[in-house]
């Protein structure tokens, strides 16, 4: 192996990497609508919005399940 073999290996690893998949429950979806006067709620809201942005930018993938779809359907408007 030549001295550049580690570069080729690193490049091929980057092309094979899979995107991170995240699962958000209804609490996460509704967090931005909660009372933002508590620091914990504010931080959770910021985290949810950042995750949402990363999903829209296709940097991470959103995982869902039958139960999350059912739960969203049962949630009042």
Q: What is the residue extent of each domain of the chain?
A: 19-74
pLDDT for residue 2: 53
Which comes out higher in pLDDT, residue 3 or 40? 40
Instruction: Please write the tens of the pLDDT for every residue from 9-18.
Output: 555 555 556 7
Continuous segment of H or E residues that includes residue 26 = helix 26-30
Instruction: Please write the tens of the pLDDT for every residue from 27-51.
Output: 898 999 999 999 999 999 999 999 9
Give one word for 35, left, alpha or beta, with left for phi > 0 and alpha for psi -120 to 50: beta
- Do residues 34 and 41 touch, judged by C-beta distance below 8 A? yes
pTM exceeds 0.75, yes or no = no
Q: How far is the CA of 36 from the CAs of 26, 30, 39, 60, 75, in angstroms?
A: 17, 12, 7, 26, 21
- Residues 50, 57: Cα–Cα separation, whole Å: 11
């Amino acid at each position: 192996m030549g001295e550049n073999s580690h570069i080729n290996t690193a490049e091929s690893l980057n092309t094979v990497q899979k995107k991170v998949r995240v699962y958000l429950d209804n609490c996460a979806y509704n967090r931005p609508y909660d009372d933002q006067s508590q620091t914990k709620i504010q931080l959770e809201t910021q985290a949810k919005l950042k995750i949402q942005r990363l999903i829209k930018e296709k940097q991470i993938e959103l995982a869902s399940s039958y139960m999350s779809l059912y739960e969203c359907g049962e949630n009042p408007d």
